Structure 1
Amino acid sequence: MKIINRIFYLLYCCALAGLLSGCSDSLDYEADANAAGHTAATPATIKANQALLAQRPFADRSDFTLARKGLLAQESDLRIFDKQGSVIWDMNAYDFIDAEGENAPASVNPSLWRQAALNNIHGLFEVTSGVYQLRGYDLANMTIIEGETGWIIVDPLTVTETASRAFLFAQAQLGKQPVKAIIFTHSHIDHFGGVEGILQHLSAQELAELRVIAPAGFDHEATSENIIAGAAMGRRAGYMYGKELMVDPRAHIGNGLGKQPAFGSFSYQRPTELIDEHNTEQTIAGVPFIFQLVSGSEAPSEFTFYLPEHKAFCGAELVSRNLHNLYTLRGAKVRDALLWSRYIDEARQRFSAAEVYFASHHWPLWGQAQINEFLEQQRDTYKFIHDQTVRMINHGYTANEIANTIELPETLMQAFHNQGYYGTIQHNAKAVYQFYLGWYNANPAQLHPLPETDVAKRYIEMMGGIDAVVIAATAQFEQANQTDVNAANATYRWLAELLNHAVYADPSHAPAKALLAKVYDQLGYQAEAAPWRGVYLSAANELRNGKPSVGIEPRAMKDILLDTDVENFFTSMAVRLNAEKAADEELRIKVSLTDLNEHYLLTVKNSVLHHRQVDADTLADAEIAVTLPLLVDILVGDAGVSDTLFSEELEITGSELDVLTFLGLLDKPDGLFNIVTP
C-alpha cells in the first residue's frame, strides 16, 4: 500500500506545484512601515511620480466616461466566498482608490493609479442592444449576447464562484433566459475556468442542447498550459500578480489588466465545436457571427469575432486597454510581435464597419473613427517594438541595451491604452530579441558565467566585504534624493543589482536584506506596470517576511485534471526524472487506464524517460492499472488510503521493486523555491 500511495503522490507532483515550504526569518520593520513592512516613498520617488503627471494627458477624462457608459446595475457589496467561507474576491477592498483616479498616493505611479481606478468601475453594463458585460467580478469580463432563442455566454471567468455570482446577478437584472451557447475566446484560464458556475444553473435540456465553441487547438492548450513547467510558473505568477501582498496603497492596487486573478474552484468543459478556419461564419442562437482566428498572438489558441447585425467587434485579448505581453513575467513561450500586429490590422480592415468594440478585459469603445484609431495605434505599437528592436539587433545592440534605449514615438506614447500597465516596451523588446536570437548576446563573458551565488561572493569579497558594501549602498540610497528623477531611478536599479549580490553572498545579513527591500519598495512605487510593481513589492515582502507556506489547493484543479490529455502527465514526469539517480537504470513500466482502455509504456534508459501508447498485451516489468477518475481523486486528495486499498479500480502487477525504483527517480518540486535569496 505504501507503493500505491507513493505512486499517486508523485504523479500529482508531476501535474501541480507543491503545497509546503519553510519560511525564512523575518526582518524588523521601520517605524513608518505599513503592516507588511513596506516603507514610505522617498523624496526621489515622490519627484519621479509627480514628473509623470506632465508626460501623459491626465486632463483627458474620456476613459472614465466610456468605462461608466451603459451601467445598468452594481452590487454595493461585491465580495465572493468559496465553499469554506473564505473570501476569494473582494472589490470592496479597493475602495481606498478614489473614483476618478486623480489622487495617487506617493507610493503609486499616478498613471497606474488611474488605471486601477478605471478597473474599479464594476457592474452589469449594456454595451449595445442585446450585448451585455459583467465587469469587476474577476480579472476578466463575462459577456452575454442575447439571441433569438436564448443567451450566448462569452468567457465565463476564472473560477466557478465568480462566474456563478456574475451570472445570477445578470439573471436578476435582465430576467432568466435559456443558455444556448458558451464561447471560449482563448485558452487562458481566466476565460474558461469558471464555466461550471454557468453549467450548474442550467436545466438538463439546456445542457443537452448546449453548444460550446472554441478556437482550434483549445483542448490541448487550455489543459496543458503550465503542466510541464507548472511549479516554476506558479511560483513566478505569485510575484507577477502580487498574490501574497495585502491590498494597500503601498502594496497591491490591481494588475493593470484587471484587479487580480480569482483563486477559487477551477472548472473545464470540452468544446462541442472548434473554429479551425479563418473568417468562419456561423449563426448561434439566431445571431450571425464572423470568427477571426488569431492563434499565436496573445494566446496559442484564440479567436476574435464580429457581430454584423450589431456592428460590434469582440477583440478577445488581441487588443486591450494596455500594452500587452510579448513575454509574460510568470514565464511562457515568447509571442510573435509581427504576427500580432498583422492580426490587428486584419481585424481593422475586415471589421471596418464596427461601431462598437468590446473585449475580454477593460471597457468598450464606440464609434467607427475611434475604433479605427484604437486598432491602428495598437497595431503600430507592436510593430514599432518589433521593427525597432530588430533594427537595433542588426546594429549589434544587446537585449539589455535595447530595453534601455527604445521609446515609443510621441504619437503612440500619448494614448493611455498603449501604456505598459501589463506588458512594457522594455521587456517586450527583450522578448523580440529572444524570439530571434535567444539568450546569448554574443559577448563571450556571457557564454558560460559562474552561478549567481558564486559570482555574488566574489564581487562582495573584491569590494571589501558585505558590511562595506551595505554602508556604501546606504549612502547612495540617501544621495538619490538629491539627484534628478532619472538619476535616482538609475541609482535604485543599480542598488538592486548590488544588494542582490550582497544577499546572495550572505542571505543571513539582515542589513543587506532590509536595504534591498527598501530599494524594491521604491522601484515598485515608481513602476507604471502592475506586474513590475507586483514583482518588486513581492520581493520586498519576502525579504522581510519570508516565503508563503501554502501553494495551490489541488482540489481546485480537479475538473481540469480530468480533461487534461493523459500524455501531458507522462511528459511532465519525464522532466522530473533525476538524471544522476537514473544513470545506471533501465526500466519498463506500463500504466493502464482501465476506463479509457488506454495503455502507456514508460521506459527509462540513458537517464531519459520516454512514453508511448501501446497495446494491452505489451509486456513490461510492472503494470499499474487504474481508472482516470480514481487517479484524479487521489491526486487532489478526494480519495484516501482506505478508498484505494479496497478499490477495484486500481491494481499493481509485476515487479513492485521496479515500480519503487522508478518512483525514486522522480523529483518532487514543491513550487515554492527561493527567488530573492539563494
Structure 2
Amino acid sequence: MRKLPLCAALGLCVATLTLGGCSSKDTPLERAADADAYGSTPATARTAEINRQVLQELPFADEQDFVEARRGLIASAEALTIRDKNDKVIWDQPSYEFISGDAPDSVNPSLWRQAKLNNIHGLFKVTDGVYQLRGFDLANMTIIEGDKGWIVVDPLTTAETAARGIEFAREHLGDQTISAILFTHSHIDHFGGALGALAAAQTELADIRVIAPSGFMEESISENVLAGPTMNRRAEYMYGMPLPRTARGHVDSGLGKEPGIGTVGILTPTDLVSRTGETLEIDGVSFVFQNVSGSEAPAEFTFYLPEKKAFCGAELLSRNMHNLYTLRGAKVRDALAWSGYIDEAATLFNEAEIYFASHHWPIWGQPRINEFLEVQRDTYKYIHDQTLGMAYKGYTPVEIAEQLALPAALQKNFANRGYYGTVSHNSRAVYQGYFGWYDGNPANLNALPPEDAGRRYIAAMGGAAKVLAVAQQAYNEGDYRWVATLLNHLVFAEPKNEQAKALLARNYDQLGYQAESGPWRDVYLSAAYELRHGNTASTQDLSVARDMLVHSPLSNFFNVMAARLNATKAEGMEMTINFVFTDLAETHVLKLKNSVLHHRRAEADPDANATLKISHALFLDIALGQASIKDLVFSDQLSIDGSKIDLGRFFALQDGIAAGFSIVTP
C-alpha cells in the first residue's frame, strides 16, 4: 500500500501558523549583515531628497514618545539572542543595534523614528503590580501580580521567546509561578508561546485559569489554515524575511521588530468572555472586559483594571495606524465597527489614568489617553466615510487611494502614522468590503493575465529595448512608480531579461527606502531581493506547530483537501471514503462527485470505496511529515478496509501546493 499520497494530501494544510511562517532554512538573522552582500543599491539623490522633506513635515522635536517608551524600565536584557533547541536563532534583538542616530538616506525618517522606539526593550513597570516585557517578540507580554501568582497577558508568539521573557522577569521580580493566562485575541503573536511561559515559570497547566474571548479557539486555529500556503508566502514579503537587518534591508515592522519564528502552541480556555461589561475576579484582581471581536481580530477583548485605573487596549489600539487589510492576505476588517469600539472604550473606561496594550509602549494621564483614543477613533472612521463618499461619486479604489489623505489634525500625531497600515491600502479595504474587487469599469471585468498583457504591452510600445530606454529615463528622473509599471510588464513578458530585472530591482530599492510603512518597505525590498537572487521562498518545519495543531478541528484538514482536488482529473469520478479516527470516536465521510469533494462528520458509509482507520496522533504525524513510509506500513494505528486501489486513486487526485510560488516573476 502506497502512503505517500496521504502525506502529500495533508502535509501543508497548516502552512501558516505564525505571522511569518516557520522556516527550516537559515533565517536572514543568520545571514551576512552586509547590505551589499545581497546586491542592494544606495539611495538615489531623489530618494534622499524625498526623505529629507519628511523631516520638515512632522514634529520630530517632540520627544514625549521616547520618554514614555523608556519610563519604568527595570532592566534590559543584554545580547537578547534567543535560540531554539537546535541552536537556531529565532529572535535577535542585537541585529537591530544599527538603528541609532539620524535616519540614513535609505530609510524614511518617520519609519526610522518608529524603529528606534521599538528598539527600546526590556522589563518595564507600568504601575504598581503591572509589568511589561517589550522587545522579546513582535508583541508585548504583560504581567499582573495576583494574590497567588502572575496573571500573564499575551504570552508572545513562540515558546522560546515567551520562556526567555518569563525567565528574565523572574530574575528581577522574583520566582513567581503563573496563576492565570489571558489571551486578548486570536492572533498567534498573542498566544503561541503559552506553553513556554508555563514551563519557564514552573507552573502546571492544571493550576491555572485561561481566559479568552468567545470564539477564540475556532478563530485562532482556522484563520490561516485554508489560506495558509498563500498567506505564508506573502508574509515573507510583508515581514522582509529574505532581507538582512541593515539600513538597506529590514528595519522594523511598525508594530514591532518582526514576528518570532519558533515552536508554537495553544491552551484551551477555562473562561470565555462574550459580552461588554462582563467582570471577572482573577487571582484577586478585578477585570472589566469589553468585547471588540470583529475589529482587529475576529475574537478579541480589551479590559480595564478599576483598582489600578489602567486600561489594556489589546490591539484595538496601537501606536500606529493599523491594517484594515493586511498585505499578507486576510479578510477585510470593519473600519466602522473598529471606530465604534474605540468610541465605546473611551466612554466605558473614561476614568483610566494609564493605557497599555499588546504592542508598543504605555500612555500616562487622562488627557493624553483621551487624545490618543480620539485620534485613532477618528482615523478609522475618516477613512471609512471618505472612501464611501468618493465611491458615491464614482471614484474607483485606485483613484480613491491616490487622492485620499488624512486631515492635518490626524496627520501630525506619530501614533497615527502609517507604519503598519496605510491610508492607501486601508481605503482599498473599505471599498473591497462594500463593493468587492470589481471597480465597475468593464475593461477590468475580464482583463488579460499578466504574462499575456505584458507581451502585448511590450510589443505595442515597440519592443523590450525601447521600454528599457523609457524606464531608464524615468528612473533617472525619479519617477519610480512609473518605472515599476513599465518594467513589471517587461519582466512578465520576458522573465529572462536580466537587464529589466536588474533595473526593476534598483527601482524597488528606492520605493522601499521611501516607504513610511514597515510592510511596504519590506514588500518592495523583498521583491528586489527576489529579482536579483531568484525565488528564495522558505520551506517549513511544521513540527513546531504540533502543540497547536492537535486542537485543530479535523474539518480544517478536509476543507484543504477539497481545495486541493484536481477537478479535471476528478471529472466523471464518484467515490466515498471513510476516515475513522480510532482514538477520538469520530468518523468523517468524504464524498466525491461532480469534481467537488464534500465531507461531513457522520457514521461510516457501509458502501464506501474504502475506509481508513487511523489514530489522531498518526494523522498528525502524517500531516507534519513526521511519519515515514516504514512507520505507516508497520503501524498498528492505521488499517484499511475496502479497495486500496480506490484509496490510492483518491489521494492521487490531490494537487501539490506551490508554497514557494513566484511573485515578481511569472
Q: Could you state the TM-score of these two structures normalised by the residue count of structure 1?
A: 0.95
> 8 Å contact 1:294–1:318 — kept in the other structure?
yes
Letter in 2 for 1:450: L
Separation (CA, whole Å) in 2 of partners of 1:390 and 1:280: 34
* Structure 2: 5+ residue stretches without partners: 26-33
Cα distance in 1 between the residues matched to 2:215 and 2:421: 25
Matched with 1:498 is: 486
Q: CA deviation at 1:61?
A: 0.5
2:83 corresponds in structure 1 to 81
1:475-494 Cα offsets, whole Å, 9 max, x none, are 221123xxxxxxxxxx2111
Contact 1:152 1:181 survives alignment (8 Å)? yes
Once the two structures are overlaid, the 10-residue window that deviates more, 571-580 or 331-340, is 571-580
Could you tell me whether the CA contact under 8 Å between 1:21 and 1:670 is conserved in 2? Answer: no
Q: Counterparts of 2:616 and 2:316 in 1: how far apart (Å)?
A: 36
The answer to whether structure 1 residue 60 and structure 2 residue 62 are counterparts is: yes
CA displacement, residues 570-601 of structure 1 (integer Å, 9 cap, x when unaligned): 11111111111111111100111111110011
Deviation at 1:656, TM superposition (A): 1.2
**1:20, 1:670 within 8 Å by CA — same for their partners in 2?**
no
Code of the residue aligned with 1:160 in structure 2: it is: A
Q: Please show how residues 110-259 of structure 1 align to structure 2 within 5 Å.
A: 110-203=109-202, 206-259=204-257
**% same residue:** 56
Q: Which residue of 1 aligns with 2:51?
A: 49
The aligned runs of 1:42-441 (5 Å cut-off) are 42-98=44-100, 102-203=101-202, 206-441=204-439
Tell me if structure 2 keeps the 8 A contact 1:155–1:360. Answer: yes
CA distance in 1, matches of 2:406, 2:22: 42
Corresponding position of 1:512:
500
- 1:559 CA drift (Å): 1.3
What is the rounded CA distance, in whole Å, between the counterparts of 1:584 and 1:19 in structure 2?
38
The one-letter code matched in structure 1 to 2:99 is I
Partner residue, 1:531: 519
Aligned partners of 2:137 and 2:59: how far apart in 1?
29
CA displacement 1:368-409 (0-9 Å, x = unmatched): 111011001000000000000000000000000000001101
Aligned to 1:662: 650
Query: 1:201 Cα shift?
Result: 3.4
- Count of equivalent residues: 654
Query: Which of these residues, 433, 447, 452, is aligned with residue 450 of structure 2?
Result: 452
CA contact (8 A) 2:24 2:540 kept: no
AA aligned to 1:433 is Y
User: How far is the alpha carbon of 1:652 from its aligned partner?
Assistant: 1.4
Alpha-carbon offset, residue 203 of structure 1: 4.8
Contact 1:37 1:544 in 2 (8 A): yes
Match of 1:604 among 588, 592, 617: 592
Q: Provide the secondary structure at the position in 1 that maps to 2:600.
A: strand
> Once the 2 structures are TM-superposed, how far is the Cα of residue 554 of structure 1 from its aligned partner?
1.1
Give the SS at the match of 1:200. helix
CA distance in 1, matches of 2:171, 2:631: 42
Matches within 5 A, 1:460-479: 460-479=458-477
Aligned to 1:10: 9
Measured after TM superposition, the shift of residue 557 of structure 1 is 1.4
Displacement after TM superposition at 1:549 (Å): 5.0
2:31 paired residue number = none
CA separation in 2, counterparts of 1:75 and 1:110?
Answer: 27
| Counterpart secondary structure, 1:246 | coil
Alignment CA distance shift 1:349-1:33 (3 Å)? closer
Superimposed CA distance per residue, residues 175-194 of structure 1 (whole angstroms, 9 cap, x where no aligned partner): 01221100000000000111
Amino acid at match of 2:123: L
d(CA) in 2 for partners of 1:435 and 1:47?
37
Residues 611-620 or 542-551, more deviating: 611-620
Verify: 1:582 aligned to 2:570, yes or no.
yes
Distance 1:203 1:170 in 2: 13
Q: Give, in whole Å, the separation in 2 of the partners of 1:115 and 1:549.
A: 28
Paired letter, 2:64: S
- Asked if 2 retains the 8 angstrom alpha-carbon contact of 1:292 and 1:303, the reply is yes
Whether the 8 Å contact between 2:175 and 2:201 is mirrored in structure 1 is no
Displacement of 1:12 in angstroms is: 1.4
Q: What code does the residue aligned with 2:271 have? A: E
Equivalent-residue separation in structure 2 for 1:376 and 1:173 (angstroms):
36
Kindly provide the CA deviation profile for residues 220-249 of structure 1, in whole angstroms up to 9, marking residues without a partner as x.
111112111111000000000001111110
Task: Give the 3 Å change call, closer, same or farther, for CA 441–549 of structure 1 in structure 2.
Answer: closer
Residue 552 in structure 1 maps to residue 540 in structure 2: yes
- Amino acid across the alignment from 2:76: Q
Tell me how far 1:618 sits from its aligned partner.
4.6
Matching residue within 35, 38, 43 for 1:36: 38
- Equivalent in the alignment of 1:29: none
- Check whether the contact 1:625–1:651 (CA below 8 A) recurs between aligned residues: yes
The CA deviation at 1:541 is 0.2
